[in-house]
Amino acid sequence: MLGYLLRRTAWGAATVLGVLLFLFALFFLYATPQDVARRALGEKAPPEAIAQWLVNHGYDKPAVWNPADPLDTRLAEHLRRMLLFDFGRSDADDVPIAQRLRDGVGPSLSVTLPLFTLGLPLALSLALLVAFFRETYIDRVGVVLCVLAMSVSVLVYILGGQYLLGKLLRWFPISGFDPAPSVLLRFVALPVLVGLLAGVGANVRFYRAVFLEESGRDYVRTARAKGAGDARVMARHVLPNALIPVLTNVVVEIPFLFTGSILLESFFGIPGLGSITVDAIQSNDFATLRVMVYLGALLFIAGQVLTDVAYTLVDPRVRLG
Amino acid sequence: MEGHVLGNAFAAAIVLLAALAAWRLRASAFWRERLGEIARRRPIATVVVALYLGVALLDSVAWRDAQPGEASVEARSLLDRAFPADFRERSYSAPLAAVEFYGGAALAHPGRHLLGTDILGRDVLHLALGGARVALLIGGLTSLIAIPLAIALGLAAGYLGGRTDDLVFFLLSTLASMPSILLLVALIMVIGRGPVQVCLALAVTSWVNFCRVVRGETLKLRELDYVSAARALGVSELRIVWRHVLPNLSHLVVITFVLTFSQLVLSEAILSWLGVGIDGSWGQMIDQARDELARDPIIAWNLGAASAALFGLILAVNLVGDALRDVLDPHTLRERT
Amino acid sequence: MRCALRAAALAACVIASLACSNDPYPSADANAHVLYMPYPEAPKTLDPQVAYSVYDHEVLSNVYETPLEYHYLKRPYELIPGLVTAVPEPRALGDGRVVYTFKLRRGVRFASDPCFALGGAGRTQRELVASDLVFALQRIADPKVGSPVLVTFSKIVGLAEFGKRLATLREDDPAFAALRIDEQYRRAGPIEGLNWKVTDDLKVTDVLDVTLDAPYPQILYWFAMPFTAPVPWEAVAWYDGEEGRDGFAEHAVGTGPFRIARYQKRSRIVLERNPDWYGAVHPEWRAPAATYPSEGEAGDAGRGLLAPAAVGRALPFVDRVEMRFEKEAIPVFTKFLQGYYDRSRIPKESFDKAASGGVLSPAMAALGMRLERTVTLGTYYIGFNMVDPVVGNAAGERSRKLRQAMSLAIDADEFLRVFLNGRGIPANSPLPPGLFGYEEDYRNPFRSVDLERARSLLAAAGYANGVDPGTGRALRLSFDTGDTSVQARLRYQFLVESWRRLGLDVEIAATSYNQFQDKVRRGAHQLYFWGWVADYPDPENFLFLLWGPMGQTRGGGPNSSNFADPRYDALFDAMKNRGNDAERLATIRAMRALLEIERPWIELFHPEDYALTQGWLHNAKATGLTVPIWKYYDVDAAMRAERRVAWNQPVRWPAFAIAGLGVVLLVPGVATYLRERH
């Protein structure tokens, strides 16, 4: 038992290391920092300024091996910074990345939290409904609607939402953000609605499949044979047993609560981590982009390890790989 | 090498592969029966997918007309040739309109642009049909890179187990743990832009899924009686894999391919919005048309055509994919997607 | 299930009541004397010696002040005293040097800020002295600051040497590099061309002599740009980005009419009235830069810019400026139409709604909106790389004819019509209207479309029908760009297709911005699209873009075409320092004639800016340069509040329709459920 937990954690740590090495190869060995420096300092920057910038951002050190001091390399620096969460400054405008993350988490959460807390019950209850009425018109219409909803690009949802609800009906501001409680809700409403609509199809379909799979199992048949009603079977037997795949799916989404939604935030002008990422992409800010990929991966891995551990604690027979 | 030559080669490769697959499949009663079943279940969706494929192939076969004396610059595809040679207007015109949208000047081809023209006066129907080729390129080229890699590594991991399995699984979990859109963009920013690069980046993020399926199934197959029996009889390992394991994976690969396809095309739309997509894709058309919603009177046919073309393909592929999964594999993959 | 339904209904009601309004501002501000402005790009830096983009200056110019400013209303642009008491006159020394004497106003104070405690415990403020202006100029020379205008200011005697001394001292002595910044500058020694005199009070100095090594009359314009805004050394020393303090690039301490109240640059910036501004403390001075002007350009009175309510009054009129970050153009225009912005540039997409033929649509005019058009002091052009073997100088007459032919194929009118809704003027020479040397009736013979002539020129160049005899195929050229956006691609496609009509095969080589920059630096580019917007209203600021010594590939200057023609360079030298007289005009004409034949550029257009203003915003005049303008603006807040309510009634029926549809869909389901239960 303990051995398994230790092994699982070690495996998670190894994956984090793998991610860091991958990022290092991508951003330090493949991409050249001179380009980033020129972009940050502008066309007219003299060579001395570029050299100075490279020193300030630690891009001047040897990449992997420094005979004089084995720890004074870009690789060591990269690992040290990432593992200690000492992210340094943005390549684009020298703002500390940690500060930027602190500023961005709030706005991101104010969109993703409602999206998550409304989206999960909505998808679950719709899926239950559809599964409950399986083989009826509700099921068939429901599944077709889900596939329809899944086949529309998110971009189309966003543009349509802004145009219809923002411009034509004037229900919500078309974009923008303000953390003041009196106006926060109206800024968040439209992105959350659009996010719900864009995500509900795939989720309902997935949960429906889970529920149907579960209701096909022997114990459900037994319960039904004993005379339990449909609704009772659903609520008492199917739902609890379907929770494991549901939970697994939910855990996968948790990192995105923090990293925010790239598309929603950019289109609706929400200054969260998602739009920070887009800005980083558009301004070639490798330092920030690196940190965002790393944090996303870290949260993902942590979530995986924790669920596996939780499953093991609840049911020692479960061994998820 | 020039773009259209590459396109021709690609189209030829696809046709060849399809012919080969058809020939092999006709020999197998299993496949003949199952594919017939799919066509029966989803007749419309199957026809729609075939139509998209046809249009994409038509647009992939291109050549230059060598006219004496005058240099013809562009290679034109079969699809381009289905439209008149100079099927252009000066700027926007509404579907089937006789005059320009702004200003009302007479059109060169009044009433003949079924879906209107875009800001440069290009026929929107033509552009929307052309997007099919890019979608096929995204799905096809990416899979062409990802699937062999995934099968090789997945088989090795699942069949050999031990250190190999650990290594492959480590690679898988490392790649899978990074947010895929960010990983895509980071890859493209670093390796550069262009259709091949985008497909390469998409392959890096999508092979994980294939590989996981292949590895899981191989693990199961390895323990089956007939494989053990073959091994006990002294059949070489390579032969076991080739004759007994690989054929039993093929349906999973087909299903995963179809289900991944729509993800790939939708991902490209987001990449286009981030400015790193492929030229001529529907994603790019949508991105370009998004500001037109604010024009007044509003210009919707551009956005509409691109979204509808994208939607039609994804919907049809999703429906066929569902049917494929139900028919070929009622259990294994139900809870995946 | 029922409980969940009830909860959902309740939640829906709460959300509907709280969320259902499109007003992006708290209701408490409805009647406030506030200006609402969108900004499309976050400022990169607030450091006045570094900032060089329009978006930086838009914020900066209201917070920092410069020795000189431009007259708000008069055109052509006229310099007025800002922090100084009079616009200085040049005084020639015998040896070719020139001296300008800047006499600073006394009693000007920096906005209060905790950083002033560095100059004495408990201090929160300080008076502006001449050494603050010197400090700003020293920062331009400081290599660590990385100011982009060092080359220009190196005309000040000894300025560049100061920077070099500073760099050497820092490198040789780590202890020196650790000193406080003012101490470093003091120890690096004086700058020969900057002399400030002590007047009546031994401590406070207010007269600064600036000596240039050669005549350069344009230097005065540079003293109206934020680069020369005096900066307190305390702010630079204190705001170093360490230990939780802001960096100086994120924290402004200036003398201007506004100070920054909130700076969350990726969502909003709020400026508020600076109570310590000299204009507010000393309205009796009636300083030109702190009083609304009483005269302007012809027609300004008719446009309401000389209203009695404003003329001669002390500035500023508004209490606060609320700036909101708006990356996408469409939300800006939508919110403007809803009354939530006071002023907006018109996005191209909405142009036909707002203005067709340069006149406001009747619907919008009825809402009290106004339209202003200004020609921006800018020129957009397609450049040839003159060191390229095919299109450049090396191919001699052959490439000249090729360039001429390509120039004849581009239809600027059509380009403007398609992409900018006609918002711009086709360009015939590098000089935009509004500058000395621009002549409205000048027509460049190679800048109107003439495909016949283009084809015959091509044939004469040896590329008959666009075919390159070397390969037997169409001549292949590459159009290099660092802009991969779809919008840019459409523009380039237009150009490429224009050249295709000549049989030329121009390929768009879109790479990342860095790769493009790198290509230009190495001289590996062929054709490119570029624009230049004036720093100051003088023809020299445009014509130097083709001056040989400014060649990008050789000298790292902004002459990306690497055009180097001794005749042009000689004419440029003769033109650059002259006053605007007949001889200068003649020289400019000669330069223009040279460019006409040589064609290093295909001049495309001078952009025109259309701005929409709400009926409640007063005194707004468009400017082609980025200058402090918000202190002149005034709003009628009551009118705005009333109109916003009237314009933003939500359309409610679809909500009821959707709810009804949901019920209709669910009822049969619930019925089935009930039936089954019984």
DSSP H/E element including C601: strand C601-613
Q: Given CB atoms, is C17 within the 8 Å cutoff of chain A?
A: no
pLDDT of B44 over the 60 cut: yes
Of B222-236, C160-174, C596-610, the range with the lowest mean pLDDT is B222-236
Across-strand partners of C311? none
The predicted structure's pLDDT at residue A17: 92
Q: Residue C347 falls within a domain, yes or no?
A: no
Contacts of C143 in chain A (CB under 8 A): 46, 48-49, 52
Give pLDDT tens digits for C64-93. 999 999 999 988 888 999 999 999 999 999
- Residues C557 and C667 occupy one common structural domain: no
Q: Residue C11 falls within a domain, yes or no?
A: yes
pTM score: 0.83
DSSP for B272-320, written as a single string: HHTT-S-TT-HHHHHHHHGGGGGSSS---HHHHHHHHHHHHHHHHHHHH
Chains with at least 3 CB pairs less than 8 angstroms from chain B: A, C
Q: Residue C440 falls within a domain, yes or no?
A: yes
Helix, coil or strand: residue A226: coil
Task: Determine contact, residues C208/C84, Cβ cutoff 8 Å.
Answer: no
Predicted confidence band of residue B337 (pLDDT cuts 50, 70, 90): very low
C299/C594: higher pLDDT: C594
Domain B3-62+75-83+123-336, CATH 1.10.760.10 — does that match? Answer: no
B309/C9: higher pLDDT: B309
Q: Do A27 and B275 touch (CB under 8 A)?
A: no
Nearest CB partner across the interface for A38, out of C326, C517, C648: C517
Q: How far apart are CA C85 and CA C136, in angstroms?
A: 19
Residue type, C601: W
- Residues C570 and C478 occupy one common structural domain: yes
Chains with at least 3 CB pairs less than 8 angstroms from chain A: B, C
Across-strand partners of C344? C612
pLDDT of B298 over the 80 cut: no
Q: Residue C191 falls within a domain, yes or no?
A: yes
Contacts of C503 in chain B (CB under 8 A): 70-71, 73
**Residue C76 DSSP one-character state:** S
Of C309, C244, C254, whose CA–CA distance to C278 is shortest?
Answer: C254
C487/B67: higher pLDDT: C487
Contacts with C74 (C-beta within 8 Å, 6 or more apart), sequence order? C293, C295, C296, C297
Inter-chain Cβ pairs, chain A and chain C, closer than 8 A: 149
The predicted structure's pLDDT at residue C9: 66
Q: Given CB atoms, is B2 within the 8 Å cutoff of chain C?
A: no
Give pLDDT tens digits for C199-217. 655 555 688 999 999 889 8
Q: Please tell me the distance in Å from A229's CA to the nearest CA on chain B.
A: 26
Q: How far apart are CA C271 and CA C274, in angstroms?
A: 9
The predicted structure's pLDDT at residue A47: 63
The predicted structure's pLDDT at residue C430: 94
Q: How far apart are CA C228 and CA C535, in angstroms?
A: 13
Q: How far apart are CA C477 and CA C392, in angstroms?
A: 12
pLDDT of B191 over the 90 cut: no
B24-36: average pLDDT: 80
The predicted structure's pLDDT at residue B296: 64
DSSP H/E element including A172: none
Residue C17, domain extent? 2-22+650-677
Q: How far apart are CA C84 and CA C81, in angstroms?
A: 5
Question: Which of C609, C636, C664 is the last residue before a domain boundary?
Answer: C609
The predicted structure's pLDDT at residue C619: 92
Nearest CB partner across the interface for A271, out of C23, C267, C338: C267
Q: How far apart are CA C252 and CA C272, in angstroms?
A: 13
- Residues C508 and C557 occupy one common structural domain: yes
The predicted structure's pLDDT at residue B335: 40
Residue C615 has which token pair? 């009926």
C8/C675: higher pLDDT: C675
Q: How far apart are CA C629 and CA A286, in angstroms?
A: 36
- The count of other CB atoms within 10 Å of the CB of residue A282 is 15
Give pLDDT tens digits for C289-336. 999 999 988 888 888 899 998 999 999 999 999 999 988 777 888 899
Of C68, C102, C111, C104, whose CA–CA distance to C204 is shortest?
Answer: C104
Task: Determine contact, residues A129/A141, Cβ cutoff 8 Å.
Answer: no
Q: How far apart are CA C626 and CA C43, in angstroms?
A: 14
Give pLDDT tens digits for A94-117. 788 998 899 899 999 999 999 999
Provide the number of structural domains found in chain C: 3
Q: Given CB atoms, is B229 within the 8 Å cutoff of chain C?
A: no
Kindly list the domain boundaries of chain B, sorted by start residue: 3-62+75-83+123-336
The predicted structure's pLDDT at residue B132: 92
Contacts of A43 in chain C (CB under 8 A): 517, 558
Give pLDDT tens digits for C532-557. 888 888 999 999 999 988 877 666 67
Q: What are phi and psi of B36, to 5 degrees?
A: -60, -40
Q: Do A94 and C247 touch (CB under 8 A)?
A: yes
Of A189-198, B30-39, C663-672, the range with the lowest mean pLDDT is C663-672
Task: Determine contact, residues B190/B135, Cβ cutoff 8 Å.
Answer: no
pLDDT of A321 over the 50 cut: no
Please tell me whether the peptide bond between B95 and the residue prior to it is cis, using omega within 30 degrees of 0.
no
The predicted structure's pLDDT at residue C641: 93
Q: How far apart are CA C526 and CA C516, in angstroms?
A: 11
- Residues C230 and C201 occupy one common structural domain: yes
Please say whether the dihedral angle defined by the alpha carbons of residues C34, C38, C44 and C49, taken in this order, is positive or negative. negative
Q: Do A231 and C331 touch (CB under 8 A)?
A: no
pLDDT of C254 over the 90 cut: yes
Q: How far apart are CA C601 and CA B65, in angstroms?
A: 33
Please tell me whether the peptide bond between B297 and the residue prior to it is cis, using omega within 30 degrees of 0.
yes
Q: How far apart are CA C163 and CA C141, in angstroms?
A: 5
Residue type, C643: R
Of A256, A273, A296, A266, whose CA–CA distance to A105 is shortest?
Answer: A273
Distance of CA C365 to the CA centre of its chain: 28
Q: Residue C270 falls within a domain, yes or no?
A: no
Distance (Å) of CA C271 to CA C56, C115, C297: 14, 19, 29
Contacts of C651 in chain A (CB under 8 A): 168-171
Of A250, A253, A249, A241, whose CA–CA distance to A131 is shortest?
Answer: A241
A214/C368: higher pLDDT: C368
Residue A37 has which token pair? 């420096």
The predicted structure's pLDDT at residue B70: 47
Q: Chain C interface, mutation test: which of A27, A38, A43, most C Cβ atoms within 10 Å?
A: A43
A206/C400: higher pLDDT: C400
pLDDT > 70: what percent of chain B?
93
Helix, coil or strand: residue C459: helix
Q: Please tell me the distance in Å from A279's CA to the nearest CA on chain C.
A: 10
The predicted structure's pLDDT at residue B334: 44
Predicted confidence band of residue B336 (pLDDT cuts 50, 70, 90): very low
**Mean pLDDT over all residues of chain A?**
83
Residue A108 has which token pair? 């991101």
The predicted structure's pLDDT at residue A166: 86
Contacts with C30 (C-beta within 8 Å, 6 or more apart), sequence order? C637, C641, C644
Give pLDDT tens digits for B201-228. 999 988 888 898 888 888 888 888 888 8
Q: How far apart are CA C137 and CA C134, in angstroms?
A: 5
The predicted structure's pLDDT at residue B22: 82
The predicted structure's pLDDT at residue C603: 95
Q: Do A154 and B270 touch (CB under 8 A)?
A: yes
Q: Do C418 and B91 touch (CB under 8 A)?
A: yes
- Residues C595 and C661 occupy one common structural domain: no
Nearest CB partner across the interface for B310, out of A148, A153, A292: A153
Q: What are phi and psi of C603, to 5 degrees?
A: -65, 130
The predicted structure's pLDDT at residue A13: 92
The predicted structure's pLDDT at residue B74: 67
Q: How far apart are CA C631 and CA C618, in angstroms?
A: 12
The predicted structure's pLDDT at residue B69: 44
Q: Given CB atoms, is C325 within the 8 Å cutoff of chain A?
A: yes
Q: Given CB atoms, is C576 within the 8 Å cutoff of chain A?
A: no
DSSP for C16-74, written as a single string: HHHH-----S-GGGTTS-EEEEEESS--S---TTT--SHHHHHHHHHHS--SEEE-SS-
Residue C245 has which token pair? 């303090």
**Mean pLDDT over all residues of chain C?**
88
Q: How far apart are CA C137 and CA B232, in angstroms?
A: 87
Q: How far apart are CA B57 and CA B51, in angstroms?
A: 10
- The count of other CB atoms within 10 Å of the CB of residue B154 is 26
Contacts with A69 (C-beta within 8 Å, 6 or more apart), sequence order? none
- Residues C76 and C18 occupy one common structural domain: no
- Residues C148 and C17 occupy one common structural domain: no
- The count of other CB atoms within 10 Å of the CB of residue C280 is 15
Q: Do C510 and B294 touch (CB under 8 A)?
A: no
Q: How far apart are CA A47 and CA A44, in angstroms?
A: 9
Of A70, A75, A45, A41, whose CA–CA distance to A58 is shortest?
Answer: A75
- Residues C387 and C246 occupy one common structural domain: no
Cα-only R_g, chain B:
23
Q: Residue C57 falls within a domain, yes or no?
A: yes
CATH number at residue C571: 3.10.105.10
Of A46-50, B37-41, C128-132, the range with the lowest mean pLDDT is A46-50
- Residues C93 and C146 occupy one common structural domain: yes
pLDDT of A313 over the 80 cut: no
Please say whether the dihedral angle defined by the alpha carbons of residues A230, A232, A236 and A239, taken in this order, is positive or negative. positive
Q: Please tell me the distance in Å from A66's CA to the nearest CA on chain C.
A: 23
Tell me which CATH code domain A101-314 carries. 1.10.3720.10
DSSP for B159-206, written as a single string: II-HHHHHHHHHHHHHHHHS-HHHHHHHHHHHH--SHHHHHHHHHHHH
- Residues C65 and C6 occupy one common structural domain: no
Q: Please tell me the distance in Å from B291's CA to the nearest CA on chain C.
A: 6
Give pLDDT tens digits for C223-251. 999 999 999 999 999 998 888 788 899 99
The predicted structure's pLDDT at residue B68: 46
Residue C69 has which token pair? 């400013």
Q: Please tell me the distance in Å from C88's CA to the nearest CA on chain B.
A: 49
Kindly list the domain boundaries of chain A, sorted by start residue: 2-83, 101-314
The distance in angstroms from the start CA to the end CA of chain C is 18
Nearest CB partner across the interface for B182, out of A150, A151, A296: A296
Q: Do B174 and A22 touch (CB under 8 A)?
A: yes
Nearest CB partner across the interface for A95, out of C22, C250, C648: C250
Give pLDDT tens digits for C548-591. 888 776 666 778 899 999 999 999 999 988 888 899 999 999 99
**Mean pLDDT over all residues of chain B?**
83
Contacts of C330 in chain B (CB under 8 A): 290-291, 293-294
Contacts of B270 in chain A (CB under 8 A): 154-155, 262-263
B74-84: average pLDDT: 82
Task: Determine contact, residues C405/C424, Cβ cutoff 8 Å.
Answer: no
The predicted structure's pLDDT at residue A320: 44
Distance of CA C521 to the CA centre of its chain: 24
Q: Do A170 and C648 touch (CB under 8 A)?
A: yes
Question: Which of C210, C231, C256 is the last residue before a domain boundary?
Answer: C256
Predicted confidence band of residue C10 (pLDDT cuts 50, 70, 90): low
Task: Determine contact, residues C312/C330, Cβ cutoff 8 Å.
Answer: no
